[in-house]
């Protein structure tokens, strides 16, 4: 049904979602002189990427930020948009803290956890056990006799995947790691997925892309229905009705399928993703200090195993100020939602202050945080995950067009680096090529 106060517009390609994938698709199509209109439900662009300016003027990313090693599209885009990439400051390995003590790398529990990850890596590359289809990551971890090794694996898996570990199968975990370059690459800083950062903030890239496209990006425009057939599509939101030759949907299934009605209905293999996928849970905080004062005496990269389990990284830009990035993934991210901001900050910084022997850690100049599972537009992060009970939604998600009119992009549909910004860029470029070919 048409919304009574909506205005009608006509375009060649309507794009749903102004995250990285949607903005890249729009930019590629504009380069071919094709008219586009990007409809975005949120009052800002960027989706799972967003940067804020700190009290000291530096930029802090609350969403995607790291340029992974070999993420060439992302690196090229950062250079093209005039931003500065800098390498991560990182020790050889993080300090693992549990029950007030640092766990050494040769402690049996640490060795067991590392061997478990190594065996997992080999099996994902050589031959995946059949039992992984029904075994959850949580059940796999429970098999290890050492409680400390189990806890270490639990925190690593939760921060790496943002999944509820009893709600993701080993098969899905294995597929994810394959698409993301292997578990050791996913966990590594330099030379791995956390290789480099952008001084101006990765979120700046989506802001700059949108600025180039203005006024073709409509904010506060949630799409509610898409009617499509071989002749084109009608895309509706409360404020605008768009008639287009082609539509590109750049929204992951969990936030999309509950909010948008398709006519004709999507084929069952796509429609079922609404019930068989969920967005990961992730809390991210950035603590800002006048300088990275801890560096002279210690490194700040830590795995904190007491609840809530967290990973801490020193993401300070080259000329300061000091930035500490804290990530809590999976179920434990949601436990933070019930706390006050002050209690959250204390719970996360106190253990670090004790480890670095510094009360100053408890008192940052700035504290920026975001619980992505509470974001009403994207519904979580880092990515959409398949439920443990299903084979649907295991990477890569289907991206073949429907009725030669409805096209799909978004990081979850990427052929490589799915789940990352690189995957979002790849999918945006791929879908633009498909649409250009379709229009011809």
Interacting residues with ligand FAD (CB under 6 A) = 16-22, 39-42, 47-49, 63-66, 68, 222-223, 250-252, 255-256, 259-260, 282, 284, 372, 377-378, 381-382, 410-411, 419-422, 424
From the CB of 70, what's the least distance to ligand FAD, in Å? 11
Nearer to ligand FAD, 148 or 195 (CB): 195
Give the span between the Cα atoms of 339 and 436, in whole angstroms. Answer: 49
Nearer to ligand FAD, 304 or 421 (CB): 421
From the CB of 118, what's the least distance to ligand FAD, in Å? 24
Distances (CA, A) of 56 to 9, 50, 198, 288, 290: 43, 18, 17, 8, 8
263 closest CA partner among 240, 278, 247, 239: 247
| 320-352 residues labelled b (16+ CB within 10 A) or e (exposed) | ebbbbbbbbbbbbbbebeeeeeeebbebbbebb
Nearer to ligand FAD, 113 or 249 (CB): 249
Q: Note if the bond before 264 is cis, omega within 30 degrees.
A: yes
> Kind and range of the H or E element at 121?
helix 108-125
Contact present, 251 and 410 (Cβ < 8 Å): yes
Nearer to ligand FAD, 76 or 147 (CB): 76
> Which residues, including other chains, have CB under 8 Å from residue 421's CB and lie 6 or more apart?
20, 49, 64, 67, 71, 74, 202, 411
Nearer to ligand FAD, 309 or 381 (CB): 381
From the CB of 427, what's the least distance to ligand FAD, in Å? 7
146 closest CA partner among 183, 105, 120, 110: 110
From the CB of 124, what's the least distance to ligand FAD, in Å? 20
From the CB of 21, what's the least distance to ligand FAD, in Å? 3
Contact present, 34 and 13 (Cβ < 8 Å): yes
From the CB of 197, what's the least distance to ligand FAD, in Å? 8
Neighbours of 280 (CB within 10 A): 24
From the CB of 179, what's the least distance to ligand FAD, in Å? 12
Nearer to ligand FAD, 65 or 177 (CB): 65
From the CB of 132, what's the least distance to ligand FAD, in Å? 24
Helices marked H in 304-403 — which ranges? 331-335, 341-355
Nearer to ligand FAD, 149 or 163 (CB): 163
Nearer to ligand FAD, 402 or 424 (CB): 424
Phi/psi at 353 (nearest 5 deg)?
-60, -45
């Amino acid at each position: 049904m048409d919304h009574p106060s909506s205005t009608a517009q006509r375009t060649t390609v309507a794009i749903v979602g102004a995250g990285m994938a949607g903005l890249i698709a729009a930019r590629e199509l504009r380069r071919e002189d094709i008219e586009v209109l990007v409809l975005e439900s949120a009052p800002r662009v960027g989706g799972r990427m967003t940067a804020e300016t700190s009290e000291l003027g530096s930029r802090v990313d609350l969403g995607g930020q790291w340029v992974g090693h070999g993420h060439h599209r992302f690196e090229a885009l950062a250079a093209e948009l005039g931003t500065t990439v800098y390498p991560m400051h990182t020790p050889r390995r993080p300090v693992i803290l549990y029950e007030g003590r640092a766990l050494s790398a040769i402690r049996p529990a640490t060795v067991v956890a590392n061997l478990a990850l190594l065996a997992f890596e080999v099996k994902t590359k050589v031959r995946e056990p059949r039992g992984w289809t029904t075994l959850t990551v949580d059940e796999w971890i429970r098999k290890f006799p050492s409680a400390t090794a189990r806890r270490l694996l639990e925190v690593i898996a939760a921060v790496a995947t943002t999944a509820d570990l009893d709600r993701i199968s080993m098969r899905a975990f294995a597929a994810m790691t394959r698409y993301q370059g292997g578990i050791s690459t996913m966990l590594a800083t330099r030379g791995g997925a956390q290789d480099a950062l952008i001084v101006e903030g990765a979120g700046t890239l989506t802001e700059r892309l949108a600025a180039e496209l203005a006024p073709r990006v409509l904010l506060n425009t949630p799409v509610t229905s898409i009617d499509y057939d071989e002749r084109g599509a009608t895309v509706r939101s409360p404020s605008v009705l768009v008639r287009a030759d082609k539509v590109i949907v750049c929204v992951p299934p969990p936030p999309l399928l509950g909010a948008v009605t398709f006519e004709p209905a999507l084929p069952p293999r796509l429609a079922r993703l609404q019930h068989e996928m969920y967005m990961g849970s992730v809390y991210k905080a950035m603590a800002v200090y006048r300088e990275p004062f801890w560096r002279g005496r210690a490194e700040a990269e830590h795995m904190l195993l007491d609840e809530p389990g967290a990973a801490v990284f020193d993401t300070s830009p080259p000329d300061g100020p000091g930035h500490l990035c804290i990530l809590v993934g999976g179920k434990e991210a949601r436990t933070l939602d019930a706390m006050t901001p002050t209690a959250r900050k204390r719970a996360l910084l106190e253990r670090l202050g004790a480890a670095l022997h510094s009360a100053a850690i408890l008192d940052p100049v700035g504290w920026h945080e975001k619980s992505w599972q509470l974001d009403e537009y994207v519904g979580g992060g880092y990515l959409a995950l398949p439920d443990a009970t299903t084979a649907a939604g295991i990477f890569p998600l289907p991206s073949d067009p429907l009725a030669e009119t409805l096209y799909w992009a978004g990081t979850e549909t990427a052929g490589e680096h799915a789940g990352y910004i690189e995957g979002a860029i790849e999918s945006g470029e791929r879908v633009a090529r498909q649409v250009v070919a379709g229009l011809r």
